[in-house]
Amino acid sequence: MPDTTPPEPPRAAGGGPLSYAVFQLARTHRGHAAAMLRAMNLHPGQELLLMQLYDRDGRTQAELLERVGLDHSTVSKSLRRMQEAGLLTREPAPHDRRVMVVHLTEAGRALREPITDMWRTLEEISVRDLTPEQIETFTACAYVIEESVRRHAR
């Protein structure tokens, strides 16, 4: 329920139709996700780290970092707050005292189902007014675009 007023696209200064659509869609999407995450006392982004740990517990901070694609400082600070919130633990690895091994706590594991439900709900809402072919095309195009942008970025 954050904003009931849809943003207006600027006529001037271009604003590529597709790019601007991506931008606005992502904002709406993220806003709704944030509202659902707040219900489980999570901040946006934290659920991504948890999901990687659900995939495999005991990951190293560098592994998480690479998988979520964020800056290491962002991950470092988020993990510290999540540790203080009791969602996970961070212990130095015995063989290499530089690396921090991250383990889920019981409270962290308890959020697996709510997070899964959140994503499923978001997906259901998103595809509600699309045909299966549109869903397929849209998702495929999204990956093509992402790859295109990433390839051009380097």
Q: Is position 51 an interface residue for a copy of itself (rule: CB under 8 A)? A: yes
Binding of residue 39 to a copy of itself (CB under 8 A): no
Ranges within 58-87 binding a copy of itself (CB under 8 A):
66-69
Binding partner at 143 among DNA, a copy of itself, none, C-beta below 5 to 8 Å by kind = a copy of itself
DSSP class of residue 90 equals E
Residue 2 neighbours by CB under 8 Å, 6+ apart: 31, 34, 35
Q: What is the 3-state secondary structure (H, E, C) of 101-113?
A: EEEECHHHHCCHH
What is the Cα 90 distance to its own chain's centre? 21
Compare residues 62 and 144 and give the one whose CB is closer to DNA: 62
Q: Which of residues 92-151 bind a copy of itself (CB under 8 A)?
A: 112, 115-116, 119-120, 122-130, 134-135, 137-139, 141-150
What is the x/- site pattern for DNA, positions 9-38, by CB under 7 A?
Answer: ----------------------x--x----
Of DNA, a copy of itself, none, which one does residue 154 interact with (CB within 5 to 8 Å by kind)?
Answer: a copy of itself
Pairing of strands 88-92, 59-60: unpaired
CA pair distance 9, 21, nearest whole angstrom: 9
